[in-house]
Amino acid sequence: MEDLNGDSKLDLVIANSDDNNISVLFANSDPTDLELTAVTENVEAGSEIATFTTTDPDQNDKHTYSFVAGVGDTDNNAFIIDGDKLKIKSDATKSSYKVRVRTTDLAGLSFDKDLDVKIDGFGSTTNTQITTIFQLVNITQNIFIVDSKVKGKKGKLSLKIKNNNAKEVNELCVFAVDDDEGKINGIAPGAEGYTKVALERSKVIFSSIAKLPKGFKNEDLKNILEFESGTKLRFYLVSNSTTQAVLSGKTSLSSVVFSSATNNSTQEEGFSLNFQDFVVTVQATGEEASLGTGLQGKSQGELIDLRSVTQSVTAEFAVNREASYNNFVGFYKVADENGGIDTNGDGKADILVGQAGYAEAAVRGRVAGIDLAVDNQGTANYTGTFGPNSLFAPFIIVDGKPDAILKGDGNKKVYFSFLGANSDKVDHIRLLGNNTFGFEDLPNGGDKDYNDVIVQVKLSVSPTV
């Protein structure tokens, strides 16, 4: 016996008495390393994104690969192994994953290693060649392209409040432009009429409240927006008001502040919008938009849209309050985006926004089991169920309960997302994030802080039995 192949293991030499040949039986060696090739750029569900390679002293040995538990197995469930290929189960949602993999040779000897799966440039804002799945590209000082490399997939953005020292509630919005100069229908930025056409095609991202109730955190808010790939975007802020108020003439056009070279800056994985005391970070993401947000961002679109869902939806509510009134918040089903209420079950609106009896019909038809209230500066959690194939709108009863409205107590006020349904025709509900609503309980907008009640809703399709 002698080490004939230099692997520090003794090999067996056997003489064959029948034919005078000599057989050399090399001792099998363990694999010594495992590597992953560079990840492909086109990472979509089911695609092969990388190849495993094993280092083994036995050069002609074959290997199989499998996931194992242990250090670095964080994202094992995001992938499958097919032969020596690594495949991702769904579209990539981040730039780096961790997996732990075992390589096993024909003799059953193995080697385990935790590996980093890196998707180069994911979320990058470079002006050079696109090398990401979802990307936000700065093409001028204030115009950005949101892009997706996956055919048929929309580009997606994630927005987070980084800093807010403003003393008023501001509304952040985004709108699409037609070219690299930011023109809309031939109207250039700064030209007469530009602000109006920009606001008319805009989408509300969220309103930022100035005074946060205890237990409510801006960093908990989710803000995911989707756009057709290749859309060119600009942003603007409405100071202490709303887009709707500007378009209706209640607020001056001077309250609109557009993004520009002086108030945005590029960062490692996106960019930031700086509006004096209000800073927002924006970056590309692969994260899916929240269920129910299809109409949010439109005028009077503080709704939960479940029209595409065929099963019941579980709703988890987190409720906060910064108000002296004991308010009540509920949700009711509307027949359409305009807020009409179907009272006879034929799917058509029987009572329209602004008509007599609207408030009573809404409260009477509220979703059973979703009765939201909380102590001042407290946090309360509830669970309820929304039906499928439906639209739902929130309402607030000021310092009262549903029974008071149904008994015709005129001293109790109820406010809705639809301005025409409010007795003062003023906005009492603002969008603070995906499925997050801030309520103002005072007539005529009161102090316009929209923190009297805040409701965050997390939705998930109920499992079938």
Q: What is the pLDDT of residues 362-377, one digit of tens each?
A: 999 999 999 999 999 9
Claim to verify: residue 88 and residue 218 sit in the same structural domain:
no
Distances (CA, A) of 21 to 18, 184, 233: 8, 87, 78
pLDDT in tens, 217-271: 887 888 999 999 899 999 999 999 999 999 999 999 999 999 886 666 655 567 8
> Is 315 in contact with 394 (CB distance < 8 Å)?
no
Q: Give me the DSSP letters along 58-102.
A: STT--EEEEE--STT-TTGGGEEEETTEEEESS---SSEEEEEEE
Same domain for 178 and 326, yes or no, is no
Residue 125 belongs to a domain? yes
Domain co-membership, 271 together with 338: no
Residue 382 contacts by C-beta under 8 Å, 6 or more apart in sequence? 316, 317, 319, 370, 371, 372
pLDDT band at 16 (very low <50, low <70, confident <90, very high): low
5 occurs within a structural domain: no
Measured from the Cβ of residue 414, the count of other Cβ atoms closer than 10 Å reads 23
Task: State both tokens at 302.
Answer: 């503080």
Bigger pLDDT: 153 or 297? 297
Residue 190 lies inside a defined structural domain of this protein: yes
Final residue belonging to a domain, choices 118, 135, 162: 118
Structure tokens at 299: 């005028």
Residues 281 and 415 both lie in one domain = no
For residue 399, the model assigns a pLDDT of 95
**pTM, whole model, 2 decimals?**
0.72
pLDDT (tens digit per residue) in 32-73: 999 887 555 555 666 778 889 999 888 788 999 999 888 888
Which of 261, 270, 400, 429 shows the shortest CA–CA distance to 328?
400
Instruction: Quote the CA–CA distance of 245 and 247 in Å, as a whole number.
Output: 6
The count of structural domains within the chain is 3
Which of the listed residues 82, 98, 118 is the one where a domain comes to its end?
118
Q: Is residue 18 part of a domain?
A: no
308 and 231: one domain? Answer: no
**Residue finishing a domain among 66, 90, 118:** 118
Give the Cα separation of 460 and 314 in Å (integer): 5
Residue 231 lies in a domain: yes
Does 387 share its domain with 244? Answer: no
Q: Is residue 161 part of a domain?
A: yes
Residue 139 burial (CB count, 10 A) = 12
Residues 345 and 386 in one domain: yes
Is there a single domain that holds both residue 250 and residue 141?
yes
Pick 94 or 312 by higher pLDDT.
312
Residues 430 and 363 placed together within one structural domain of the fold: yes
Dist. CA 158–CA 445, nearest whole Å: 30
Question: Is 322 among the domain residues?
Answer: yes
Q: Write the CATH number for 69.
A: 2.60.40.60
In a domain? residue 401: yes
Instruction: Print the domain residue range for 211.
Output: 121-289
Whole-number pLDDT of residue 15: 52
Closest-CA residue to 414 (of 426, 400, 427): 400
Strand partners, 175: 202, 234
136 and 65, same domain (yes or no): no
Q: What is the 3-state secondary structure (H, E, C) of 407-430?
A: CCCCCCCEEECCHHHCCCCCCCEE
| Cβ–Cβ < 8 Å for 176, 231 | yes
Q: Give the containing element (helix H, strand E) for 194.
A: helix 194-200
Q: Do 285 and 296 lie in a common domain?
A: no
Q: For residues 265 and 156, state if they share a domain.
A: yes
